[in-house]
């Protein structure tokens, strides 16, 4: 009979242990899910498959447009002067209310190859007259995405909204883990 009592005690211990593990798992996974940023249903996502990134925009940017321009990097040495030595894509996300009569702040995204970015960091060329360089937003295995220095220097309409959007780190690299340092 003692064996039956011991066996019954083991069953109770196993059941208690199972319940404890179950409670811990539910608690742990519940906390993990709470910490994950949730993409709200009222956001719009621009996906760029050519360079491998996406950018989340608020609902107020519905019907935004994409303008593709080119950034220019100028030589720093005296021999080449203002010669353009590097170029790359400059992608502008343009607010739907932007007009030529009433322009609004664009969201500019500069795209650099890894070699271009390294050369820029080594001051082999410069972009614009600002005393600081572009700010890295994120990177993948091929490209670095950056915000131009002083992009909002004129404080156009909507610059506060763009700053607020950028504070949320809306740029994400696609399909790979962010390699931002």
65 and 22 fall within a common domain: no
110 and 145 fall within a common domain: yes
85 and 165 fall within a common domain: yes
Q: What is the pLDDT of residue 22?
A: 45
3 and 53 fall within a common domain: no
Q: What is the pLDDT of residue 76?
A: 84
List, as own/partner pairs, every contact residues 152-157 make where C-beta atoms lie below 8 angstroms and the sequence separation is at least 24, other chains included.
152/105, 156/103, 156/104, 156/105, 157/102, 157/103, 157/104, 157/105
Which residues form the domain of 165?
43-173
132 and 117 fall within a common domain: yes
Task: Please give the helix or strand (H or E) that residue 94 lies within, else none.
Answer: strand 84-94
Asked whether residue 179 is domain-assigned, the answer is no
Q: What is the pLDDT of residue 99?
A: 97
54 and 119 fall within a common domain: yes
13 and 94 fall within a common domain: no
User: Using the 8-state DSSP alphabet, how is residue 62 labeled?
Assistant: T
Instruction: Of 124, 127, 97, 94, give the one whose Cα is nearest residue 110.
Output: 127
pTM: predicted TM-score of the whole model, two decimal places: 0.73
10 and 55 fall within a common domain: no
Domain count across the chain:
2
Q: What is the pLDDT of residue 106?
A: 96
Q: What is the pLDDT of residue 23?
A: 43
Q: Hey, how many other C-beta atoms are within 10 angstroms of the C-beta on 26?
A: 10
85 and 150 fall within a common domain: yes
- Structure tokens belonging to residue 154: 């004129």
pLDDT in tens, the chain (181 residues): 444 444 555 665 555 555 545 444 444 344 333 222 334 456 899 999 999 999 999 999 999 999 999 999 998 876 666 789 999 999 999 999 999 999 999 999 999 999 999 999 999 999 988 788 999 999 999 999 999 998 888 889 999 999 999 999 999 998 765 666 5
């Amino acid at each position: 009979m003692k064996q039956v009592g011991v066996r019954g005690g083991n069953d109770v211990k196993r059941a208690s242990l199972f319940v404890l593990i179950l409670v811990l798992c539910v608690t742990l996974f519940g906390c993990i899910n709470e910490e994950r940023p949730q993409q709200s249903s009222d956001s719009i996502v621009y996906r760029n498959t050519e360079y491998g990134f996406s950018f989340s925009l608020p609902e107020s940017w519905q019907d935004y447009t994409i303008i593709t321009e080119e950034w220019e990097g100028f030589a720093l040495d005296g021999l080449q002067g203002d010669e353009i030595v590097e170029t790359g894509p400059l992608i502008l996300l343009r607010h739907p209310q932007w007009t030529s009569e009433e322009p609004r702040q664009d969201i500019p995204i500069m795209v650099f190859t890894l070699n271009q970015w390294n050369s820029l960091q080594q001051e082999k060329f410069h972009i614009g007259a600002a005393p600081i360089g572009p700010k890295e937003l994120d990177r993948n295995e091929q490209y670095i995405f950056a915000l131009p220095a002083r992009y909002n220097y004129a404080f156009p309409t909507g610059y506060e909204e763009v700053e607020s959007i950028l504070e949320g780190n809306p740029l994400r690299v696609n399909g790979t883990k962010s390699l931002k340092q």
